[in-house]
Structure 1
Amino acid sequence: MTEIEKKNILIFGATSNHGGVESFVENLITVFHEKYNFSILRFEDKNFYHQTELIQNFGISTFCLKLYGSFFDRIFYPLRANIFFKKNHFDIVHINANSPFHFFIARAAIRGGAKVIYESHNSFFNSAYYHGKIVNLLLPYIRRIQKRKLNKLPIIPAAVSTLAARFMFSKRNQKKTIIIPNYFNADFFRFNLNHRKKMRKQLGICDDDRVVVVVARITYQKNFDKILSIFTTGIMNKKFAQCFIVGNGDEYMERVSQVSSFKKIVRDKIHFVGQQENVYDWMSMSDVMIMPSLYEGLPYTLLEAQANGLPSLVSDCIAKETNYTGITHFLSIDEMDTVWVQKATEMNISVSQRNDCFRLASRSRFSKDDFVRVIDQLYQSISGDKQ
């Protein structure tokens, strides 16, 4: 395909945080930058995750449509979107969203002549905790109105899982929803025994100590009340030797302060290490990962942990299709902490089994090959190119 024939694709949804949407966008551009002209539409003044690297490596363009401020300011969002898409033309607009709130972006893009993919990355009406009491009460009704408006538009519905599709789309659109597998590079997450031993030695952890890890943004969605309660129970019952939290988020300082008030025997064994580039080494060093989330779309972290052969105990709100290795176990967040601790203690796996999981990852529906096939078919069918 020559440069002139390249389709212009606008990607919306990436933020400054590192989450599932940001990983998806980065993978999309990395894999397809030679075939399509990508631009990113951000909705905050901050750079989106890895913005500098993506611009330098792939020459993408960026736009900013400010969509933040008071609840009253939201009245003007549709007008701003209409003005933007009158000035800028795109063949495809790929919206990555956690709710139907951005239906007005889809509507404005359609009016501007673009084909719109609206991809659901979530399975629950979130964000209610950000606003005042009155707005919190009204938000579920507002979201239902937004969902109806979204599903009346001629969008191409897509989702990361069947749960995410059910959450975002009408029954009619659910039947047409394209499930896009969350590709990740399994090679990065392969279990490394030498790195495990090295990190444990550096951190003063014995070979037979049970290490539990959480790899997540420190936000409401990830349910850190439950996480810290499980950690505390596991430490007090001498089931968990050390607990690590890998990640940042808007609750980071609040949770650090909370742990500092715990008993010394507990706080000395809970470690916040921030966002890490070598997440795979933290996984290799650990024995089990927990994820008692309140809601999820299809978490990358869980896919990555399985490629590492790291057993994971997760909330039953997470789509069962994530369990491509059989080493993930699902549990209700309503279960007592002692149940979570006992189950996490029972989840053992050998070095050879951890290596076997990597081979399963490279052949799973979350492999690069499947990702390329689904995205290529989707974009080509929309743009009218031959398969």
Structure 2
Amino acid sequence: MNILIEGMSRQLGGMEAFIMSVYRGLDRESYRMDFIAYDDEIVFEDELKAGGSKVYHVTPRSKSVLQSRKELDTIFKQTQYDVFWTNKTTISNIEALKSAKKNQVPLRIVHSHSSENRGTKFTLFMHKKNRRQVANYANQLLACSKEAGVWMFGEKAKEAQIIINGVDIRKYTYTKEREEKMRKELGLGDEPVVGHVGRLSKEKNHSFLFRIFQEIQKKEPSAVLLLCGGGDEAQKKQLEEEAEALGIRDSVRFLGVRRDVPDVLQVMNVFVFPSLFEGYPISLIEAQAAGLPTFGSKEAVPKEMGLTKEMHFLSLEEGEKQWAEAVLKELHSEKCSETEVLLQSEVSLEKMLDTIQKILEKRGMKHGN
């Protein structure tokens, strides 16, 4: 089966991690996966090409609508794809989806990975415009949560199938040996570590996270804040300046994009995630799999994320002091493995891949229109 996937970018985020888990998990003999990219280079591009995938670099719509359409049509004409699968945080741009229908791709999937606008006002305008017509071009709607389905599909959300983002749980199981090795690699001693994994972007609410950490340091001066995640240099510089202004810059480590997140999680004592909005953040599953007391915002994190007793929900309205007090209570608690609990849940990678395969195999039976 030939599958063309849209959704990879130059930055490693939750959506890209999801796509790669599918790519690595499906049988390459049965499923050939190629990719559309609008950046000059995307994360894991070398791995994708080494695995036999094509990566088509298409002119962004923002540069030339006509050129972008022409290149997309050429891709679909050159190769007979059975499936086009677009992964989105907004549907401000559905040119590839339109091209897929025009070129008679049997199964056309739109997969929502967010519950709110991450772009500009124009992005929101185009998203709302396209939301009214997306079902005319797609014949399979997917979403990572109910909220993400409503955001992407509006009245059609009830037709969207929820795909829980799966995680290879055993990769994150905590061991003392892994922690000691990683602490040494990161130049850490026995100081308590507050952790966060997420793109350096508005919705992750790093400013509030910094204020929480500032309160934590009043009682735990040696504490360190580890941040895993990429972002543009301007955003990073702004966050560094904020940390400097709060007097915590020397204790905040910007680790950037890491491909060894399962190991980095081993050194954390708590995981704090005060997002403004989310879809279904995989990093919270990973943190729970690593046995970390995990704190997420009630406003953004779906309640379905409460998979273990380690997941705690707090409102952003409670303020940084209340968050800090809650985190401090767990900062020195013993890590508790939740591997078996998670393996039996809907978030296991095996269950997700089984669900996806069933959807892909429906193409000839139901999706010929």
Q: Which AA in structure 1 matches 2:117?
A: F
TM-fit CA distance, 1:382: 1.4
How many aligned positions are there?
360
Write the deviation string for residues 304-324 of structure 1: whole angstroms up to 9, x where unpaired: 111111111112211111221
In the other structure, the counterpart of 1:59 is 52
**Is 1:112 the counterpart of 2:103 in the alignment?**
yes
Q: Which AA in structure 2 matches 1:64?
A: H
Contact 1:231 1:240 in 2 (8 A): no
In the other structure, the counterpart of 1:273 is 255
In the other structure, the counterpart of 2:147 is 163
> Among 213, 223, 226, which residue is 1:231 paired with?
213
* Compared CA separation, residues 153 and 268, structure 1 to 2 (3 A): same
In the other structure, the counterpart of 2:76 is 85
**Is 1:369 the counterpart of 2:350 in the alignment?**
yes
- Structure 2 distance, partners of 1:216, 1:154, is 30
Q: Which AA in structure 1 matches 2:340?
A: R
Provide TM-score, normalisation by structure 2.
0.89
- Structure 2 distance, partners of 1:65, 1:205, is 47
- Structure 2 distance, partners of 1:124, 1:60, is 31
TM-fit CA distance, 1:116: 0.5
TM-fit CA distance, 1:122: 0.5
In the other structure, the counterpart of 2:31 is 36
Q: Which AA in structure 2 matches 1:14?
A: M
> Among 332, 344, 354, which residue is 2:315 paired with?
332
Q: Which AA in structure 2 matches 1:165?
A: G
TM-fit CA distance, 1:76: 6.2
Higher relative contact order at CA 8 Å, sep ≥6: structure 1 or structure 2? 2
TM-fit CA distance, 1:68: 5.4
TM-fit CA distance, 1:240: 7.1
1:301-316 equivalences in 2 (<5 Å): 301-316=283-298
Aligned alpha-carbon RMSD (Å):
2.4
* Structure 2: segments with no counterpart, 5+ residues: none
Provide TM-score, normalisation by structure 1.
0.85
**Is 1:103 the counterpart of 2:94 in the alignment?**
yes
Contact 1:45 1:66 in 2 (8 A): no
Q: Which AA in structure 1 matches 2:158?
A: K
Percent sequence identity over aligned pairs: 24
* Compared CA separation, residues 139 and 247, structure 1 to 2 (3 A): closer
**Is 1:10 the counterpart of 2:27 in the alignment?**
no
* Compared CA separation, residues 63 and 199, structure 1 to 2 (3 A): closer
1:127-142 equivalences in 2 (<5 Å): 127-128=119-120, 136=121, 138-142=122-126
1:187-266 equivalences in 2 (<5 Å): 187-200=170-183, 203-206=187-190, 209-238=191-220, 241-250=223-232, 251-263=235-247, 266=248
Q: Which AA in structure 2 matches 1:190?
A: T
- Structure 1 distance, partners of 2:20, 2:329, is 36
- Structure 2 distance, partners of 1:374, 1:197, is 37
- Structure 2 distance, partners of 1:231, 1:221, is 18
- Structure 2 distance, partners of 1:303, 1:148, is 33
* Compared CA separation, residues 378 and 164, structure 1 to 2 (3 A): same
In the other structure, the counterpart of 1:185 is 168
Q: Which AA in structure 2 matches 1:66?
A: T
* Compared CA separation, residues 314 and 64, structure 1 to 2 (3 A): same
TM-fit CA distance, 1:158: 0.5
Contact 1:91 1:113 in 2 (8 A): no
**Is 1:149 the counterpart of 2:127 in the alignment?**
no
- Structure 2 distance, partners of 1:83, 1:198, is 50
**Is 1:289 the counterpart of 2:289 in the alignment?**
no
TM-fit CA distance, 1:301: 0.8
TM-fit CA distance, 1:267: 2.4
Contact 2:272 2:295 in 1 (8 A): yes
Write the deviation string for residues 251-290 of structure 1: whole angstroms up to 9, x where unpaired: 2233224323443xx2222222223333223222211111
